[in-house]
Amino acid sequence: MVRIQETITVTSGIQECFDFIADFRNLPKWNPNDEKVELLTDFPLRLGSVFKVHTSINDRKMILDYEVVEWGPPLRAALATDSKLFSAIDYVDLSANKYGTEVIYTGDFTFKGIMKIAAPIFITRKLRKLFSENTENLKDHLGFVDSETN
């Protein structure tokens, strides 16, 4: 398994952060690889909600169904997907700190088949870069706090 994690602090409140990040319909706003997302289940979002994500990973177009497997608004959500090449769980954990809302975004990836060999060498670096880009984009939407200057 490969775990990738990024932590940022933003000015938006916890509920606003949860509503934006955990609702995967917003993915195209902060993940440049995600082109389109559809909610396949009825609103409101809850445990068992499913999103169809049209994405590209390593320049390969894919359609992934992400299911909400943990739903604890406004502090935690987890969404999982399973494909022929990998399984993944994305976690969002939120808490207050003295500067604003701390956002911890984590991805756990389990690779399958030939990807078990190739992923640690080729894919993990790209995933780390993507997670870094995604959290930079989240800062733009949720208001970045530079805790070192406060």
Is residue 135 within 8 A of residue 23, CB to CB? The reply is: no
User: Please, how many CA atoms are within 13 Å of residue 21, restricted to the half-sphere of its CB?
Assistant: 36
Q: In a structure prediction context, what are the per-residue pLDDT tens digits for the chain, which is 150 residues long?
A: 899 999 999 999 999 999 999 999 999 999 999 999 999 999 999 999 999 999 987 778 999 999 999 999 999 999 999 999 899 999 999 999 999 999 999 999 999 988 888 777 778 888 899 999 999 999 999 998 875 554
Q: Report the alpha-carbon distance of residue 11 to residue 101 in Å, rounded.
A: 6
pTM over 0.85: yes
The architecture in CATH of the region 2-142 reads: 2-Layer Sandwich (3.30)
Closest to 33 (Cα-Cα) out of 4, 8, 66, 62: 62
Is residue 53 within 8 A of residue 61, CB to CB? The reply is: no
Q: Report the alpha-carbon distance of residue 56 to residue 13 in Å, rounded.
A: 31
